[in-house]
């Protein structure tokens, strides 16, 4: 079942929300000084979709004309559908549907007692495509969303036209000898999950500061994510996301399994990597997985992990270059 909602009205219906975040409106602010760019933004108010799968009600933001290139966009861990708010206006040829993944944004949380695993997300996304009646479509993913997209593309390669990944490929992998200790820790966290309390912020600016301090991301980008990620409660604001998302996964793939999925991908792949001085184990793993993806174009853009929010013009330029090259060669 598919419904068109007016989340903008839902967000702004609270006077408190308006007072705390007056700059959040339903209109796009077009950037100036955009001459000589490959990509120009469009002025568009996105639709909000409610998508009923077999088990969950998911919500999505939707840009573009119905006959545009169908693209499902998947956000990173603890982010939400607004992660593509800055990029989507630069991709007017897309019918871009950006999901709030389960447990995030306005989408349902999984039932109490149910854990979150990325393989379940793969099934959720495929169900969304079924509801949208998309037999063939493309995927755009950031971070965790890029991992989900890459595994989905390896699971149903015949359905995926293009795979566009932003600072993510595959997922965390684990050596077999590490699995007993991982399950021990995951079980311990699960049994203590009732102790987890959502933080309470007196105002949105406090939440913005906290989120900004957790990683390298522009304040303007943080505001975009926080506007969708908070809900009003007695005494202030707290996150919409399910606290269970922070519980360690009970099992991970071994590297050979991850590579097997990636080797099944048949669509042209664009991997956009954020280039900065920070190096971590996830970046190292991504470099190890790249050789297992055929037909992959690897592009590097200077910036931090949320470069699609901080520098959407450059990301859009690379996406258009990728699409133009493959459409000319097809």
Measured distance CA(72)–CA(64) in Å, rounded = 12
CB 315 within 8 A of CB 87: yes
Three-class SS state of 236: strand
CB 295 within 8 A of CB 326: no
Supply 117's token pair: 């695993």
The pairing of beta strand 296-302 with beta strand 269-275:
parallel
Backbone angles phi, psi at 60, to 5 degrees: -140, 155
Measured distance CA(131)–CA(127) in Å, rounded = 6
Backbone angles phi, psi at 74, to 5 degrees: -125, 125
Closest to 40 in 3D by CA, of 93, 81, 84: 93
Three-class SS state of 124: helix
One of 143, 171, 241, 314 is an active-site residue; which one?
A: 143
Could you tell me which residues are beta bridge partners of residue 272? 166, 299
Following CA atoms 149, 259, 257, 190 in sequence, which dihedral angle do they give, to the nearest 10 degrees? -50
Annotation says 143 is catalytic: yes
CB 299 within 8 A of CB 270: yes
Catalytic residue set? 143
């Amino acid at each position: 079942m598919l419904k068109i909602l007016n989340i903008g009205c839902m967000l702004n219906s609270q006077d408190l929300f308006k007072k705390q975040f007056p700059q959040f409106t339903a209109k796009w602010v077009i950037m100036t000084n955009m001459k000589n760019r490959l990509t120009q933004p469009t002025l568009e108010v996105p639709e909000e979709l409610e998508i009923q799968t077999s088990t969950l009600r998911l919500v999505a933001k939707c840009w573009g004309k119905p006959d545009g290139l169908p693209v499902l966009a998947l956000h990173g861990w603890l982010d939400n559908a607004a992660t593509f708010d800055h990029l989507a206006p630069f991709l007017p040829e897309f019918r871009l549907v950006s999901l709030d993944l389960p447990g995030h944004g306005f989408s349902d949380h999984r039932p109490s007692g149910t854990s979150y695993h990325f393989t379940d997300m793969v099934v959720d996304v495929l169900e969304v495509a079924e509801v949208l009646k998309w037999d063939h479509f493309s995927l755009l993913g950031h971070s965790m969303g890029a991992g989900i997209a890459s595994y989905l593309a390896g699971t149903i390669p015949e359905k995926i036209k293009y795979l566009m990944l932003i600072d993510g490929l595959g997922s965390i992998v684990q050596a077999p000898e590490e699995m007993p200790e991982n399950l021990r820790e995951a079980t311990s966290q699960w049994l203590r999950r009732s102790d987890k309390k959502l933080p309470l912020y007196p105002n949105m600016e406090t939440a913005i500061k906290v989120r900004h301090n957790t990683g390298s991301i522009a304040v303007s980008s943080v505001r975009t994510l926080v506007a969708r990620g908070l809900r009003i409660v007695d005494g202030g604001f707290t996150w919409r996301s399910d606290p269970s998302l922070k519980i360690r996964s009970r099992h991970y793939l071994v590297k050979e399994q991850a590579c097997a999925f990636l080797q099944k991908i048949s669509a042209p792949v664009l991997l956009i990597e954020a280039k900065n001085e920070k190096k971590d184990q996830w970046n190292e793993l991504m470099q190890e997985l790249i050789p297992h993806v055929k037909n992959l174009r690897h592009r590097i853009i200077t910036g931090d992990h949320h470069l699609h929010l901080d520098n959407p013009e450059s990301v859009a330029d690379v996406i258009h270059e990728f699409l133009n090259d493959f459409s000319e060669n097809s």
